[in-house]
Structure 1
Amino acid sequence: MFDRHARRLIDPPLNRLGRAMAARGWTANGVSLLGLALGLIAAVCVALGAPTLALVPLLASRMADGLDGAVARATVRTDFGGYLDIACDFAFYAVIPLSFVFLDADNGLAAAFVLASFYVNGTSFLGYAVLAEKRGLSTQAQGVKSLYYSNGLLEGTETIVYFILLCLFPMAFAPLSWVFGGLCFLTATLRIHGASKLFT
């Protein structure tokens, strides 16, 4: 919901930094993999009982997620780069809730619920992107992307806020996840409804 507004603020500095990194030999794929590695480090920090410490690699991971596209725009954009970016994102979104189960097994049911909501929401998102590509539809509302990014009630910005809240208030994992998972299911439902109107 807030991604398009956030992009207006973060894209200009990210693009400047991306050009500087590209000039020093960084590749977009390398930055995507770095972002995933940082996300895995954040998950390990949570699992080992240091969720507050996990904020540092978690936020650095999301910075890298924004920078890979900036580096690609400064060098060359490839279909595989877009594919790798989304694959790394989905892996990151999976390991953070899972890490809270390692932190406290009592979080298992809420984590299963939120991960199921991610699965359903991700399917609605990627399926929408495939059909949009098939019909030659495009949008830059979420910035310049390799895939068609349909907007939704919950997007990347809201997910990052959710993860930050989990790290700051790990004892509230269950209520936060039940609410966020419910909103993810609602987002998927609204996207499917929109697809039923557009892809007829």
Structure 2
Amino acid sequence: MLDAAARRLIDPPLNRLGRSLARAGATADGVTLAGLGLGLAAAAMIALGAPGWALLPLLASRLADGLDGAVARATRRTDWGGYLDIAADFAFYGAIPLAFILADPVANGAAGGFLLAAFYFNGTTFLGYAILAEKKRMQTSAQGIKSLYFSNGLLEGTETIGFFVLLCLLPGYFAPLAWVFGAVCYLSGTLRLIGSRTVFRD
């Protein structure tokens, strides 16, 4: 819901930094993989009981996630790069709740499982929408220039990162926060599914 507004603020500095990285020889795929590595390092720190320290690699990973597209725009965008980016994003999004489950299975297991199931459903509606949008040659740049069609929703990347930051700051409240966020994820995916019936009606 907040991604479009966030992109207007962060894209100009990201594009400048992306051009600098491209001139220094960085590749978009390399930045994507570095971001994934940082995100998984954050998840490992959470699982080991250090969620506060995990904020550093977590936020750095999301910076890299924004920079890979900027580097691609400064060099050459590829379908493979877009595919790698979305796969890395989903790996990261799943790793953080899993890390909290591993950190305290008794307290966080049920809520974490519910949250992961909600992510799974919401991600399916998102990617399915993108596939059908490609078949209809639909385009949008509301969330920036992307390799896939990005449909909006109640919860997008900005809200999810904010949620992860909140979890790291308040790890003792993981369970209630996960139940609430998971429920809104299900609502977001359901609304996207209902809306797609009109958009993609033959």
> Offset of 1:101 from its aligned partner?
1.1
Cα offsets for 1:58-96 (capped at 9, x unmatched): 000000000000000000000000000000000000000
What is the rounded CA distance, in whole Å, between the counterparts of 2:74 and 2:195 in structure 1?
34
Which segments of 5 or more consecutive residues in structure 2 lack a partner in the other structure? Answer: none
> Offset of 1:102 from its aligned partner?
1.4
TM-score normalised by the chain length of structure 2: 0.98
Identity %: 68
TM-score normalised by the chain length of structure 1: 0.99
What is the rounded CA distance, in whole Å, between the counterparts of 2:137 and 2:95 in structure 1?
34
* 2:165 alignment partner in structure 1: 164
> Offset of 1:103 from its aligned partner?
1.0
What is the rounded CA distance, in whole Å, between the counterparts of 2:150 and 2:76 in structure 1?
20
> Offset of 1:175 from its aligned partner?
0.5
> Offset of 1:124 from its aligned partner?
0.1
Which segments of 5 or more consecutive residues in structure 1 lack a partner in the other structure? Answer: none
> Offset of 1:132 from its aligned partner?
0.3
What is the rounded CA distance, in whole Å, between the counterparts of 1:48 and 1:175 in structure 2?
21
* 1:47 alignment partner in structure 2: 47
What is the rounded CA distance, in whole Å, between the counterparts of 1:57 and 1:158 in structure 2?
18
Cα offsets for 1:150-196 (capped at 9, x unmatched): 00000000000000000000000000000000000000000001100
* 1:189 alignment partner in structure 2: 190
* 1:124 alignment partner in structure 2: 125
* 1:2 alignment partner in structure 2: 2
Question: Over the residues paired in the alignment, what is the CA RMSD in angstroms?
Answer: 0.4
What is the rounded CA distance, in whole Å, between the counterparts of 2:137 and 2:147 in structure 1?
13
> Offset of 1:5 from its aligned partner?
0.3
**Equivalent runs, 1:142-157 vs 2, <5 Å:** 142-157=143-158
* 1:37 alignment partner in structure 2: 37
Give the match's secondary structure for 1:101.
helix
Which amino acid letter does the alignment assign opposite residue 48 of structure 2? L
What is the rounded CA distance, in whole Å, between the counterparts of 1:154 and 1:49 in structure 2?
27
**Equivalent runs, 1:52-67 vs 2, <5 Å:** 52-67=52-67
